[in-house]
Structure 1
Amino acid sequence: MRETDNLQLILLNIGRSSHDGDWNWKGINSPFARLYYVIEGCARVDLPQGVQTLRPGSLYLIPPFTQHSYACDGLFSHFYIHIYETPSSPRHLLEECHFPVEIPANPLDFSLINRLLEINPDRELLQYDPGLYDNQPTLLRNIATEAQQAEYAALETRGILAQLLSRFLRYATPKAEVNDKRIANVLRHIRKHIDQPLRISQLAAICHLSDDHFIRLFKKEMDCTPIAYINQKKIERAQLMLLVENVPVKDIAYRLSFDNISYFNRVFKQITRFTPTQYCERLYGQ
């Protein structure tokens, strides 16, 4: 079975919107991906890698946790699709690969998007300002709406999302370019067992190497230590869990095998620039 067979994609929003110089938002960084199909006009997206112009004839993808801003000074009409991968998904494809921002659209894409909108008529945004919809309560409502969807529509929805994302996946590359197969095996193990204690000796044994040799090889391949990589992935999972689970921060820490809550808080702030409490306050819009 391919890892992509286990993708758990959720449609949060889909709709068509038209703007006239009023699609201007700054400092967006969401836990879900955005897919756009432009009908008429153009707009700009300021991304870490540069400015991308959105225009008719292409599909556009902005992965989750990507800092960006929008700007438009004229007519801009487009379809938008918000896609979320659940924290329990065995693989987080949208976070693990470098995707092209733009690919050529084809007539089938337009048909698929229209069909997706037809079977999900209640998923349009009520407000276009990300500050009003990009928060924890709205995310939970959207996930709950998806869970109540008829089984046939849910299956078709996931199929269309997978088909649209496959168009980008064709040109995607792994974020971690690994040449050594032993380290690639370790990365798969870390991803699969990110909620468990992950010790250097355990990972080194997968490679049939001593601890010191494994650490040197890992750092050569990944440009960071195994502990730094594990902490990064655990905190990314913690961010997703904080979004969808109404449980205390300490429970999230323990479920990710942080025995020391102070250490979890310190690592969380080091990676996100916020304490877990501050991060939760931002999610709830407080």
Structure 2
Amino acid sequence: MRVSAQSEAVETGAVAELPHIADPQKVAPKDARALSRLFFDRLQVLEEGTHEYQYARNTLIEMNQSLVYFAAKRYRNRGDGQMDDIIQVGTIGLIKAIDRFELSREVEFTSFAVPYIVGEIKRFFRDTTWSVHVPRRLQELRVTLARAQEELSVSLDRDPTVAELAAHLRIGEDEVIEGIIAANGYTAGSLDLPTDPDQAPSGSGRTYADITGDLDPGMELVEDLHALAPLLESLDERERTILAMRFGQEMTQAEIGKHLGVSQMHISRILSRTLTKLRTGMLTQN
């Protein structure tokens, strides 16, 4: 069936099977709008997971791909390197719109889909522009602070202080400082950069990686032992004795039971109960 003929069938309300479209992306936008109504109508009655359902859904995605390219045009200045990513996330928005659209909404699918597509693209830039993950609240605060700093710099003829920014935005100084610190996550430099800006990029000399400290595994052990001390003091004498024998003297449960005159099973129950108590206490403190 020709596309134009199928469009006429849709417009007149005729009931027809889904046509086979060899290349949905080549369907003209006018025909795509008409055909989309037919495909959405059939999609509502088809069983999800069937071959016909997948064909209808995939064809809707391909026929309306032009909406993604339309929305992506406004981001051309981001560079060709990111355009593929923009198209990809925009298509995700298109798919979400297709899965949530209902003909009963009495709205054109194009009007319904574009906000979904643009929303996904904006979310992509919001989430990937930051080098370090920063909460949404602080991302928004960074923008507000940048605008306030620009305004105050003009009126004061100098960079504003934290107190002046706080007063201007009517927020606390601690919140301003938090926003300034969070702004450092917007960009990140390489640890391979030389510490001396005038150093020739010959690979010689110290880099930031050479002078950046690493995590000391012993520090975590010290913190755990410090947190464990009061929990051990809360145990009764028998529990502490059994722990000392098991982990301090590395005695087996059978040896501990023989030494204390009780069964190995009894020692096992005491150890299990004691370790659970300590583990729960450690998790509560963290």
Quick check: which one's helix share is greater?
Answer: 2
Structure possessing the higher relative contact order (Cα contacts under 8 Å, 6 or more residues apart): 1
TM range (shorter): under 0.3
TM-score by length of 2: 0.22
TM-score by length of 1: 0.22
Quick check: which one's strand share is greater?
Answer: 1
